Structure 1
Amino acid sequence: MNDFHWTKLFNPEFYITMELGGVPIGIYMVLFIVFAETGLFAGFFLPGDSLLFLSGIYSRELVETFFYIPSDFSNVTVLALLIASAATLGNVFGYWFGARSGQFLYAKEDSFFFKKKYLYQSQEFFEKHGGKAIIFARFLPIVRTFVPIIAGIVHMEKGRFMFYNVLSSLLWSFVLVFAGHYLYDMFLTEFNIDLKEHIEKIILILIAVTTFPLVMKAIKSRKSNSNTSE
């Protein structure tokens, strides 16, 4: 840890390859971060989509922390299911918090870990898409942190919430984990390119892709506000 720098906290590979006393704990860190993105409302700075994609690349190393699975497909499937479970639990906690005390967030002052504007953006997103917002939000940084809370605040029917919650968690996990795993294999076998040597580029591309919808939404919102003021 002597070469640790705070910027590593934004690098998903840092968590995936983390060790404690020489013992790999990457899988525990991945599951905790996935839960924390919604369960602990820390989604604006913790890596989400890029973490899942890279977890697919490191699926063998991560799952072997628990047990060895000879089948490559079974290995990546188990990893995706574990991540989906953590994502589901995170949303449940977010929903519970919203139902119990989420209203206090609207009166809370902005801080490094909390921006009220994200709450209002997520509320608008939820009102526009309804239950499907829970699915769409899974693939949008920041929004996925607050949408479950909004669902709890408006007391969305629990059975309906759980349906979208489980479905969105499975889609998010399987799409990104499988994409990372099999794209890594394809680039290695077909082009002799080891994606592990290009992690920083992959992270930048994923950040650009996942934040593009939010940037476009912000631009449209500004144009709309300027037109209204005129």
Structure 2
Amino acid sequence: MLTTTVLSAALTDGSLPLLAGGPLPALGPDFMDPEHLIRSFGTAALIGIVAVVFIETGLLFPFLPGDSLLFTAGALVAQDSLQLNIWMLCGMLFLAAFAGDQVAYAIGRKLGPKVFSRPDSRFFKQKYIDQTYKYFDKYGGRTIIVARFVPFVRTYAPVAAGVGKMRYRHFVSYNVVGALLWGVGVTLLGYWLGNFSFIKNNIEALLILIVGVSVLPVAFELWRARRKEQAGETVEGRDTEYDEPVERASVEREVFGNAATPPVPGQAGTPAVDDEVGEHTQR
């Protein structure tokens, strides 16, 4: 029964565009266009949307339209272009967002610092890890909630929590709140706004705007990284304040009360060196 419901809960016609005005012009790769993704899922729209959310949050693949996909799905349900029950959609998205972070935490806990010592590749950049630790340093454990709304950081924050051995009870509580606010909240926001006649009558322009807005944080981070690199605060996009294992370990100790990466004796930033510096200063 559930399988039949899921498979039948789909677009009005999977072979046609979602919108009466035709497919929207893509901004960037097709997999970053939420309307294109939803349309490509056809009769498996619910499964596809849930899978994308889980992959982005749990399988270390940050290049997916998380926020815009949630908002777009809610808006399309409101205008009956996507034949899904909004509460079933919200429930499944909450589970996907929650389970994704649980898997990411387990990956970090199991593999430890090896996860974050990988060399840069097409989909993995050390500068994203620097940014993640910066958020932990700024927001503490609440980063698990705040990161939900920040591209890239939401992918790596739960992994960092696992690497730093954040207490599981605290992690789960933050994860529940974050999954509700993001997975359910953003979807309902799209659904409620989609019920306004102005939104319904201009849904094509709205979706283009959503995609555009969703890439703004990425563009802003690139611009800020370039400014910092010119000022000498970053090296090739790496934040010099969080780019060393000992610096990350320091954040882990302060935020989680534990560090998977022990301090390196004799290296700047470690307690031993700091104590020696303090003694010399007193002398």
User: Any idea what SS the aligned residue of 1:18 has?
Assistant: helix
User: Where does residue 25 of structure 1 map in the other structure?
Assistant: 44
The structural deviation recorded for 1:62 is 5.0
User: Where does residue 35 of structure 2 map in the other structure?
Assistant: 13
User: Any idea what SS the aligned residue of 1:138 has?
Assistant: helix
Structure 1's 137 and 36: CA in aligned 2 closer, same or farther, altered over 3 A? same
Aligned pairs for 1:43-58 (under 5 A) are: 43=62, 45-58=63-76
User: Any idea what SS the aligned residue of 2:149 has?
Assistant: coil
Contact 1:18/1:25 (8 A) holds in 2: no
Is 2:140 the partner of 1:130? Answer: yes
**Greater share of helix:** 1
Q: Which amino acid aligns with 2:102?
A: V
Unaligned runs of 5+ in 2: 1-14, 16-25, 235-283
Structure 1's 155 and 192: CA in aligned 2 closer, same or farther, altered over 3 A? closer
Contact 1:27/1:63 (8 A) holds in 2: no
**TM-score of the pair, normalised by structure 2:** 0.65
Contact 2:61/2:123 (8 A) holds in 1: yes
Query: For 1:38 and 1:202, how far apart are their aligned partners in 2?
Result: 20
Post-superposition CA distance 1:25-64 (Å, at most 9, x none): 1211111111111211001x11110000101012356563
Structure 1's 104 and 18: CA in aligned 2 closer, same or farther, altered over 3 A? same
Query: For 2:88 and 2:135, how far apart are their aligned partners in 1?
Result: 32
Aligned pairs for 1:75-224 (under 5 A) are: 75-186=85-196, 189-190=197-198, 193-196=201-204, 198-208=206-216, 210-211=217-218, 214=221, 218=225, 221-222=228-229, 223=231
- More deviation in 50-59 or 100-109? 100-109
User: Any idea what SS the aligned residue of 1:141 has?
Assistant: coil
How many residue pairs get aligned? The number is: 206
- More deviation in 127-136 or 211-220? 211-220
**Larger Rg over CA atoms:** 2
**TM-score of the pair, normalised by structure 1:** 0.79
- More deviation in 177-186 or 147-156? 177-186
Contact 2:108/2:115 (8 A) holds in 1: no
Query: For 2:129 and 2:227, how far apart are their aligned partners in 1?
Result: 18
User: Where does residue 250 of structure 2 map in the other structure?
Assistant: none
Q: Which amino acid aligns with 1:24?
A: T
Structure 1's 198 and 124: CA in aligned 2 closer, same or farther, altered over 3 A? closer
Identity, % of aligned pairs? 31
The structural deviation recorded for 1:211 is 4.0
Structure 1's 190 and 200: CA in aligned 2 closer, same or farther, altered over 3 A? closer
Query: For 2:149 and 2:129, how far apart are their aligned partners in 1?
Result: 17
Structure 1's 203 and 164: CA in aligned 2 closer, same or farther, altered over 3 A? same
The structural deviation recorded for 1:131 is 1.1
Contact 1:63/1:79 (8 A) holds in 2: no
The structural deviation recorded for 1:10 is 1.6
Contact 2:38/2:49 (8 A) holds in 1: yes
Query: For 2:143 and 2:224, how far apart are their aligned partners in 1?
Result: 15
Query: For 1:99 and 1:165, how far apart are their aligned partners in 2?
Result: 16
Query: For 1:212 and 1:115, how far apart are their aligned partners in 2?
Result: 16
The structural deviation recorded for 1:77 is 2.9
Higher relative CO (Cα under 8 Å, sequence separation at least 6) belongs to 1
Contact 1:17/1:25 (8 A) holds in 2: no
Query: For 1:192 and 1:172, how far apart are their aligned partners in 2?
Result: 23
